[in-house]
Chain A
Amino acid sequence: MSSLRELQAAFRAALLVDDEAAVTPTIVDDDVGVSARLAIYRHHVFTSLTAALEATYPVVMRLVDRRFFGWVADRFVRAHPPAGPCLTEYGDDFPEFLAQFPACGHLPWLADVARLEWAMNVALHAPDAVPLEPGTLRALEPRALARLTLRLEPSITLLESPWPIDAIWRANQPDADGVVDLEGGEARIEIRRVGDDVVFRTLPAGTFAFRAALSSGRALEDAVERALDAEPGFDLASEIRALLDERALAA
């Protein structure tokens, strides 16, 4: 084979799609055999990446059982190999993969539970942020305030689901019995890191709409409008106070 680049592409094909045709002639054959030797590398790639997904998605694994999870993970790794070496960042598109995966069609809430676990993983590893000081906001003119875009600190995710994914998550912790009322209704959840711990809680409709709007980069005025649509009694002043008290805004 003419170049290292081609050899590496051929090796990748052997590991990820079991196509050993191009790489086999480049490898010394002996009693063990080229396929068996390639299988050693392939085995490590798949077991280590499956372990990374298990670490990020323990509740999904419990919900579908370990063997099924291993099979889904195998399919996922082939279709979506990691783009980089930090494995805590691997699997952001796993929830969407589950949503589209035919064999999971009878578990309509599974992808949203996975989104919750991904948000918890993001929170755990998010960069440490400097919180916004209340004085910064007090110094602003009311009109400038309306056009202002407040940024939530980087560990926060706002997640909405028609399923009670918070209850499903709690019921499937290692010491819990797995029993949950699937008719428990929709969930509007804020996930974040506080100190060293990842926490989540449900928010009222107005607060959720407001923070979700800020989270997607909308200006304050726009976020207030959305909050009032969701909950006519939404009170901006107390919400801003809460965000500052919770150190939830980034400087």
Chain B
Amino acid sequence: MHPSGCGIGLRAPHVAEVLERRPPIGWLEVHAENYMGGGPAVRALERLRADYPLSIHGVGLSLGSAEGIDSGHLERLARLVERLGPALVSEHLSWSATGGAYLNHLLPLPYTDEALDVLCANVARAQDRLGRRLLVENPSGYLRFRDSSISEPEFLNALARRTGCALLCDVNNVYVTCCNLGGDAVAWIDALDTSAVAEIHLAGHAVNDADGQTVLIDDHGSAVADPVWSLFEHALRRLGPMPTLIEWDTDIPALDVLLGESAKASRRLMKASGVVAA
């Protein structure tokens, strides 16, 4: 089953309810690292994958690590992918691990030729082991490196061109990054190679104050913000209808709130594919 329409990021507090109610959701996406042990969590997912298209979203492969990706973790991801047979497998344009420490964050990369070579080698290795195309997601940015010589969308385009990977466009991350680092979010979307994009993410962000300066934090802790909905509509005009995911990870609300967000995205997706919602 291939994802289409709008899905939700399935988090632990909702698993039992989704199993019980089987609500109409386009597809489900889960974080790979939460299902790498045994026990009830992964068994629940095996039951759900019979009814919903599934996407596995890794947060821990650290594709941007200069020292290469951890072969033990890649093996575990490969075994999970073999066990669950998801339609999509995705990861991030970021790094988390260095010198044996895993820093549990999607950390920023300088967009340089050296970093591009590192990314290409790591993505190629992951795709070889998994035997499939990986989707790579743009992160939320809070700083820029002086050495960066390539724009973020151009960096992603080059990665897709050189490795054959697909791109996951997180529209909220585009908005957060452009607000935090100065940039035009519409131009960012327009610079992306449309043929490489295979999935969209949407989520809420927090608006914080840092010494009088506004900083947006990608906390996945609220409803999708209005300017992000507008940017999503722009992305759909450019990319066409695209499997879209609602993520909510902190202050997780009732499942119905998530389904409401998903319905909002679905209406826009239908409009983009020329279907007028009743």
Chain A window 58-84, contacts with chain B (Cβ cutoff 8 Å), 1 for yes, 0 for no: 000000000000000000000001111
> Of B37, B65, B99, B146, which contacts A28 at CB under 8 A?
B146
Does the CB pair B143–A45 fall under 8 Å? no
Interface membership of B131, Cβ < 8 A: no
Does the CB pair B146–A27 fall under 8 Å? yes
Once bound together, how far apart are the Cα atoms of A97 and B21, in whole Å? 43
Once bound together, how far apart are the Cα atoms of A27 and B145, in whole Å? 4
Interface membership of A147, Cβ < 8 A: no
Given contacts A27-B143, A36-B211, whether A4 and B60 have CB atoms under 8 Å apart is no
Interface membership of A182, Cβ < 8 A: no
Which B residues, 197 to 239, have Cβ-Cβ distances below 8 Å to chain A?
Answer: 210-211, 213, 215, 217
Chain B window 82-126, contacts with chain A (Cβ cutoff 8 Å), 1 for yes, 0 for no: 000000000000011111111111011110101100100000000
Interface membership of B193, Cβ < 8 A: no
Interface size of A in residues (CB-CB distance below 8 Å): 48
Given contacts A4-B66, A8-B95, A32-B215, whether A81 and B37 have CB atoms under 8 Å apart is no
Does the CB pair B39–A31 fall under 8 Å? no
Interface membership of A40, Cβ < 8 A: yes
> Of B65, B66, B215, which contacts A40 at CB under 8 A?
B215
Q: Which residue of B lies closest to A127 (CB)?
A: B38
Chain A window 28-66, contacts with chain B (Cβ cutoff 8 Å), 1 for yes, 0 for no: 100111101110110011001100100000000000000
Interface membership of A167, Cβ < 8 A: no
Given contacts A4-B118, A126-B37, A127-B38, whether A28 and B144 have CB atoms under 8 Å apart is yes
Does the CB pair A128–B38 fall under 8 Å? yes
Which A residues, 83 to 116, have Cβ-Cβ distances below 8 Å to chain B?
Answer: 83-89
Which of A3, A49, A87, A193 has the most C-beta atoms of chain B within 10 angstroms of its own C-beta?
A87
Q: Which residues of B contact A124 (CB under 8 A)?
A: 37, 39-40
Nearest chain B CB to A170 CB, angstrom units: 22
Interface membership of A199, Cβ < 8 A: no
Interface membership of A241, Cβ < 8 A: no
Interface membership of B1, Cβ < 8 A: no
Once bound together, how far apart are the Cα atoms of A196 and B217, in whole Å? 36
List 25 A-B residue pairs with CB atoms under 8 Å apart, sorted by A's residue number.
A3-B66, A4-B114, A5-B67, A8-B95, A26-B147, A27-B145, A28-B145, A38-B143, A40-B210, A40-B217, A44-B104, A45-B104, A48-B104, A83-B102, A84-B70, A84-B72, A84-B73, A84-B102, A85-B104, A86-B33, A86-B36, A88-B34, A89-B37, A124-B37, A196-B40
Which residues of A line the B interface, CB within 8 A?
Answer: 1, 3-5, 7-9, 11-12, 15-16, 25-28, 31-34, 36-38, 40-41, 44-45, 48-49, 52, 81-89, 124-129, 154-155, 193, 196
Given A3-B66, A4-B109, A41-B107, 5 new contacts (CB under 8 A): A4-B114, A4-B115, A8-B66, A32-B210, A48-B104
